[in-house]
Amino acid sequence: MAKLPIIKLPDPLLRTTSAPVERIDADLVRLADDMLETMYAAPGVGLAAIQVAVPKRLFVIDTSDDEAKPDPRVLINPEIVSRSDELRLHEEGCLSLPEVLVEIERPARIVVRYLDRHGKQQEHEAEGLMATAIQHELDHLDGKLIIDFLSRLKRDMVIRKFKKLARSEM
């Protein structure tokens, strides 16, 4: 396995709509394993393929506690098939936007349908942090970021900050 570089704002790739995965082959499974290693090293609870510059519809996730045993999951071509009316508020961070936290309200429970790493269709009912994280990662596949939940003024401030940071790192 290998750790991959995570792209950050203002990289325009983050605004890409990712394409469905056509084939689950050895290369794709290797990508998923590399994404898991990258996510654990960061550390983070989720990572979408586009964050390692691969515009394909998959993400990895592990919302288990630090003390619990790891629960790595790979979701390929995920879609939400139902959402609760009840909402859950969570302060979300993102590995592509270091040090930015945004309070976001999303459905508290969802049912997500996806293909696992063996190409088998799965349906999973998620709640709590898992439900929030899945919706966050799904947003990435459509080019959406946590700053899109901010007012335009605040969003522009964050974007300016990251542009400046990127210039100073050149």
* Smallest distance from Ni ion to CB 40, Å: 15
Task: Tell me which residue has its CB nearest to Ni ion.
Answer: 94
In the complex with Ni ion, the residue whose CB is nearer, 19 or 101, is: 101
End-to-end CA distance of the chain: 29
Q: Which residues bind Ni ion (CB under 5 A)?
A: 94
Active-site hit among 22, 37, 79, 137: 137
CA dist 1 and 13 (Å) reads 24
Q: Any idea how long the chain is?
A: 170
* DSSP result, 25-92: -HHHHHHHHHHHHHHHHTT-SEEEGGGGT--BSEEEE----SSSPP--EEEEEEEEEEE-SSEEEEEE
In the complex with Ni ion, the residue whose CB is nearer, 34 or 139, is: 139
Q: Is 137 a known active-site residue?
A: yes
In the complex with Ni ion, the residue whose CB is nearer, 18 or 24, is: 18
CA dist 74 and 65 (Å) reads 18
In the complex with Ni ion, the residue whose CB is nearer, 8 or 83, is: 8
* Smallest distance from Ni ion to CB 67, Å: 24
Structure tokens at 155: 């969003």
Of 54, 16, 48, the C-alpha closest to 138 is: 48
* Smallest distance from Ni ion to CB 14, Å: 9
CA dist 158 and 146 (Å) reads 11
* Smallest distance from Ni ion to CB 98, Å: 11
Just list the catalytic residues. Answer: 137
